Structure 1
Amino acid sequence: MGFELPTGTDPVSIRKRIEAMEMLLERSFKIPGVNYPIGLDSLIGLVPVLGDIVTTAMGAYIVWEARNLGLPRWKIWRMMGNVGFDAVLGVVPLVGDAADFLFRSNTRNLRIVKKHLDKHHPSSRVIDS
């Protein structure tokens, strides 16, 4: 397939999996003409009820991986709050669909994880090009 995710439990492998999930959910496509990135969170979220359940579960995966990294409880709760807020907004018709474009809970959670890893596991840091 040309693209493999690491299966290890080390910080570098977990970081790569979280980054890949965030990319898939938030920035995997660009709207033509506008060049605005969207992901599966916005597209699947258009499907009533089931779409919100699926995207919430995918967002919860990022929180689960962060827990495996040993993030402090307050950071895990903050990440769960981001996913929960996104899920609650997703329940409201039209408002939830618009919120998926604007409130990127998975990007916020990735930022929390990266900040933690950069401080506590500097060897996992990747220089973005």
Structure 2
Amino acid sequence: MLGALDRSAMQARADERLRSLVLDAVADVLQGVDVLVTPTLAVLPVANRDDGTTTGPSEVGGVPVDPSIGWCLTYPFNFTGHPAASVPAGLADGLPVGLQVVGQRHDDAGVLAVGAALEAVLPWATTYPGAGA
């Protein structure tokens, strides 16, 4: 992976074009809806590593992915700048599962309102070991 200082103008322009394509695709998906709700991850949760370099699988559903980020469903919305929040949704094998709420561009308040409503019906503070401590 190239750092920003290692990229040519042509590579940077290609990245901008890709971002525009993804931005347009997300706008199409969100057309006519207030929010999109997805899992936070494409796989069951993975344990965090102590050294800060948590990695996941190198394949999801038979498709090769980058083990550092390819299994995270948050990346496209970070890339496009859509507001998103992950809300606790339960445990799988003792590890937390997140539910991602994605909103229209600039509708941070709407995303936070949906996240708060989900937390009200899915209270998690007493579910997770060590939560609220």
TM over 0.5: no
TM-score scaled by length of structure 2: 0.29
- As a proportion of its length, which structure holds more helix? 1
TM-score scaled by length of structure 1: 0.29
- As a proportion of its length, which structure holds more strand? 2
Task: For CA contacts below 8 A with separation 6 or more, give which structure has more relative contact order.
Answer: 1
